[in-house]
Amino acid sequence: MEQQPAKRGIFNPKIVAFVCNWCSSASGDLVGPIRAPYRGVPRILRVLCSGRIMADNVLEAMEMGSDGVFVAGCDSYECNYRDGNFIAKRRMHFAKNLLKFAGFDPGRVEISLGFLQLISDPLEQFRKKILKLGPLGQAETENFTPEDVREKLMMARKVTQDPEIGWMVGKENQLTEIGNTYDLKISQQEFDEMIIDKIKHKYRLYAVLGKIDKIPMTIPEIAKQSNFPEPEVFNLIQELEHSGMVNEAGLSGRYFQYIQA
């Protein structure tokens, strides 16, 4: 991500902006020229529809060094692909919830529908917000080491790639707006609570799995490194073992050791 060289002591945020190709001619026209360093303007990535942006794309951008991610889509009911902008809005809501649980400020992700110009107010306001937050992992509510940031983003990306999570995010509109086969719906609040509970469970699951990806450990050792209670680690290991993601790796004293399959 090319940025204009900043003076020592001055934070120049690295921002990635995914911009819909159809929402304005300015979006497409400036993608080429914007490659030249220009203070205050992020790396622009033009996409055919904002609905193609997944939560994993957001986390990948952060993993590559971005301090914030901005998504610009068409105005309400004006999407060239019917409802791509609403899909993007739901996915970014999911990304915010996941980032919040991982310990990052959810304000590092923003979506704007009806984006008219690349240097319009929404993008400039987002840049100022990131300026206040500071580099990724260094906001007042974050305070992470670079290694913490890397590990947390890696775990969060595994959650976004989980098939069960993908199914739930994809079914949000049907569950909350359309209804199932029996015309039964759930409220947006109920869905949010359900997806947050699932995020928490999957994040812990992959956090435990990450501890034993190379070196076998016992349940007490995993609990100590992950800061999870031993009974919870035991249940998570049982679930991972049942799904074939973990194998036993012999005994260490009176405890079994486990390693990623």
pLDDT, tens only, 170-184: 888 888 888 878 888
Distance CA 224, CA 261 (A): 21
Mean pLDDT lowest for which of 10-19, 128-137, 206-215?
10-19
**What are the tens digits of pLDDT across the range 223-237?**
999 889 999 999 999
Q: Which domains does the chain have, with CATH numbers?
A: 15-133 (3.40.50), 162-260 (1.10.10.10)
Instruction: DSSP letter for 134, please.
Output: -
* pLDDT (0 to 100) of residue 163: 92
108 pLDDT more than 90: yes
Residue 5: what pLDDT? 46
Specify the pLDDT at position 13: 87
Between 54 and 74, the higher pLDDT residue: 54
Average pLDDT over residues 239-249: 92
Tell me what pLDDT residue 68 has: 93
Q: Measure the CA–CA gap between 116 and 118, rounded to whole angstroms.
A: 7
Confidence band for 222, pLDDT divided at 50, 70 and 90: very high
* pLDDT confidence band for 32 (50 / 70 / 90): low
pLDDT at 41 over 90: no
Per DSSP, the residues of 89-132 read: HHHHHHHHHHHHHHTS-GGGEEEEES---TTSHHHHHHHHHHHH
Percent of the chain beyond pLDDT 70?
Answer: 87
Burial group, residue 250, by CB count within 10 angstroms (0-12, 13-18, 19+): exposed
